[in-house]
């Protein structure tokens, strides 16, 4: 197996620890951190719960059309954790907000978002509102923007129940207490009467998780749920997310700009660049059988077990392209050490990139009843075979791009 030397197996890293393995032992709440990994949770079923087909989002602006999301397709199974990873501006949030009809009116959205076979993009607003927060819920990066400062946490949680269910308010409040308890808020009964500002950042994010699971959703979309928190609290929150996934049997779409947190946390990874998926596959495939130079660049910029904490090893030089004026050919070509004339003239399709060289190492591909292949390793690169042949694909980014 070809392997980047600074990357331990994903299963060896606890969620949120990143790949440097920093252990988080205590919580702000006093709870002991047990470092659960994805392997300790219930695995995905073979049933597809969400399928996104050719999702495209454009924003007309005075400067031109921003092509924020281009032809995004993926599938999510029950209880699966799929992570969407990419640099700032790569279209992670816009593609996820589009699923739930949360984009501004100016957005031009096309494609299909099939939730249990129903197309959310073709649904009436009223029906979509009824699904939102009940069957598909969202956790945002900053809980303060999602929580109302003038209402108690208990009232807000109860309101999330009452918005979808005709139950006595007392029952809704009791459910709120159970959820706070489940996400690890001590003295949940008393804390129901607290206001958001009376909680720490990590506790507020736990409240957001409670809010997201209170109606037993099938899918939780977590958009950078821990970016604003310190490393120790990040680990606890991500672990809590895995735990509640099992409690409510939901799938998670986990959005992050940090490939390091994905290890041990996601079954599959979708890497986005310039609004488009450039690599998708089982987490092990993406980490150890990397087939796209951009992914290799991201892996090479994760701090290793031996590097000083926070040190970036080999950052990818340059910046992502303008989404108004995308370069001709592969959008990564201006930053790619492997770029040649072919790359600069034609954008590579997202295509199977396993090939004979991968042999028996590849992850099993599941074919659903309607012929969708899940788990397939796809990459958008004309030269993926060069990565397949390399001992350490991250080395392409060493010394200004000398071939390993
Ligand atoms: N309402 C809008 N009008 C015009 N452009 C927009 C709008 N919303 C987002 N964009 C652009 O769409 C692109 C994708 O944005 P998005 O928020 O999805 O990025 P992201 O991958 O989530 O980044 P980050 O990691 O910073 O959250 C960006 O270039 C952004 O500027
Ligand atoms: S297509 Fe060419 S430029 Fe794009 S990632 Fe692959 S090698 Fe690099
Ligand atoms: Mg975002």
Stated pTM of the model: 0.88
The CB of 273 under 6 Å from ligand 2? The reply is no
The CA-CA-CA angle for residues 11, 44, 103, to 5°, reads 100
How far is it, in rounded angstroms, from Cα 287 to Cα 264?
A: 11
Is residue 20's pLDDT more than 70? Answer: no
Number of domains in the chain: 2
Cα 95 to ligand 1 centre (Å): 9
Q: Are residues 159 and 41 in the same domain?
A: no
How far is it, in rounded angstroms, from Cα 77 to Cα 43?
A: 10
Q: Are residues 117 and 152 in the same domain?
A: no
Pocket-testing residue among 326, 329, 348, 394, ligand 2, by greatest number of atoms within 8 A of Cβ: 348
Q: Report the atom number in ligand 2 closest to the C-alpha of 386.
A: 7
How far is it, in rounded angstroms, from Cα 352 to Cα 87?
A: 23
pLDDT of residue 363: 57
Q: Are residues 197 and 345 in the same domain?
A: no
Furthest CA-CA distance within the chain = 67
Taking the chain, what is the end-to-end CA distance rounded to the nearest angstrom? 16
- Region 258-279: mean pLDDT is 92
> Of 167, 172, 142, 141, which is closest to residue 156 (Cα–Cα)?
172
Which domain-ending residue is among 192, 214, 236?
Answer: 214
Which residue's CA is the closest to the ligand 2 atom numbered 6? 381
How far is it, in rounded angstroms, from Cα 300 to Cα 329?
A: 24
Q: Give the list of residues 6+ apart from residue 343 with CB closer than 8 angstroms, or none.
A: 329, 330, 333, 336, 382, 383
Which residue's CA is the closest to the ligand 1 atom numbered 29? 89
CATH number for the domain harbouring residue 266 = 3.40.50.300
Confidence band for 215, pLDDT divided at 50, 70 and 90: very high
- Token output for 118: 């129903």
Q: Which residue has the tokens 């804390």?
A: 191
Is residue 52's pLDDT more than 50? Answer: yes
How far is it, in rounded angstroms, from Cα 37 to Cα 44?
A: 14
143 compared with 32, residue with greater pLDDT: 143
- Token output for 274: 């310039």
Q: Are 257 and 86 in contact (CB under 8 A)?
A: yes
- Strand locations in 86-218, DSSP E? 108-115, 118-119, 136-139
- Does a structural domain hold residue 1? no
Which domain-ending residue is among 182, 198, 214?
Answer: 214
- Does a structural domain hold residue 5? no
Q: Are residues 353 and 273 in the same domain?
A: yes
Q: Are 33 and 83 in contact (CB under 8 A)?
A: no
Q: Are residues 75 and 188 in the same domain?
A: no
The CB of 314 under 6 Å from ligand 1? The reply is no
- Coil, strand, or helix at residue 67? strand
Ligand nearest to the CA of 61: 1
Q: Are residues 251 and 112 in the same domain?
A: yes
User: How many beta carbons lie within 10 A of that of residue 374, not counting itself?
Assistant: 22
Domain that holds residue 177: 142-214
Q: Are 35 and 17 in contact (CB under 8 A)?
A: yes
Confidence band for 373, pLDDT divided at 50, 70 and 90: low
Which domain-ending residue is among 214, 237, 253?
Answer: 214
- Does a structural domain hold residue 3? no
Cα 92 to ligand 3 centre (Å): 6
Is residue 74's pLDDT more than 50? Answer: yes
For 375-391, write each residue's pLDDT tens digit.
789 999 999 999 999 88
Q: Which residue has the tokens 């042949």?
A: 389
Is residue 279's pLDDT more than 60? Answer: yes
Q: Are residues 98 and 47 in the same domain?
A: yes
Q: Give the list of residues 6+ apart from residue 248 with CB closer than 8 angstroms, or none.
A: 213, 216, 217
């Amino acid at each position: 197996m070809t392997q980047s030397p600074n990357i331990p197996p994903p299963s060896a890293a606890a969620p949120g620890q990143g790949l440097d393995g920093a252990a988080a032992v205590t919580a702000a709440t006093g709870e002991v951190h047990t470092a659960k990994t994805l392997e300790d949770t219930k695995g995905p079923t073979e049933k597809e719960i969400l399928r996104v087909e050719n999702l495209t989002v454009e924003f007309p602006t005075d400067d031109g059309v921003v092509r924020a999301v281009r032809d995004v397709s993926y599938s999510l199974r029950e209880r699966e954790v799929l992570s969407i990873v990419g640099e700032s501006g790569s279209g992670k949030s816009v593609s996820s907000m589009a699923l739930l009809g949360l984009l501004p009116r100016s957005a031009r959205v096309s494609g299909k978002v099939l939730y249990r076979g129903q197309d959310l993009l073709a649904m009436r607003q009223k029906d979509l509102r009824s699904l939102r927060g009940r069957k598909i819920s969202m956790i945002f990066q900053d809980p303060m923007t999602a929580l109302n400062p003038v209402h108690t946490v208990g009232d807000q949680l109860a309101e999330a129940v009452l918005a979808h269910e005709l139950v006595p308010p007392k029952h809704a409040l009791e459910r709120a207490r159970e959820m706070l308890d489940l996400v690890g808020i001590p003295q949940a009964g008393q804390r129901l009467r607290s206001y958001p500002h009376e909680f720490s950042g990590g506790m507020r994010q736990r409240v957001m998780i409670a809010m997201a699971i209170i109606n037993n959703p099938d899918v939780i979309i977590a958009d950078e749920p821990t970016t604003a928190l310190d490393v120790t609290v990040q680990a606890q929150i991500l672990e809590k997310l895995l735990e509640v996934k099992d409690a409510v049997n939901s799938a998670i779409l986990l959005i992050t700009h940090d490939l390091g947190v994905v290890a041990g946390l996601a079954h599959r990874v979708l890497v986005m660049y310039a609004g488009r998926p450039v690599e998708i596959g089982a987490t092990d495939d993406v980490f150890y059988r990397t087939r796209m130079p951009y992914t290799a660049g991201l892996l090479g910029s994760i701090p290793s077990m031996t590097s000083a904490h926070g040190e970036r090893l080999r950052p990818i030089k340059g910046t992502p392209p303008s989404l108004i004026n995308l370069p001709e050919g592969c959008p990564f070509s201006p930053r790619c050490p492997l770029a040649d004339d072919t790359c600069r003239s034609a954008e590579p399709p997202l295509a199977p990139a396993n090939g004979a060289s991968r042999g028996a190492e590849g992850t099993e591909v599941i074919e659903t009843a309607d012929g969708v292949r899940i788990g397939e390793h796809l990459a958008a690169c004309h030269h993926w075979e060069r990565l397949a042949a390399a001992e350490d694909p991250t080395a392409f980014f060493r010394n200004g791009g000398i071939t390993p």
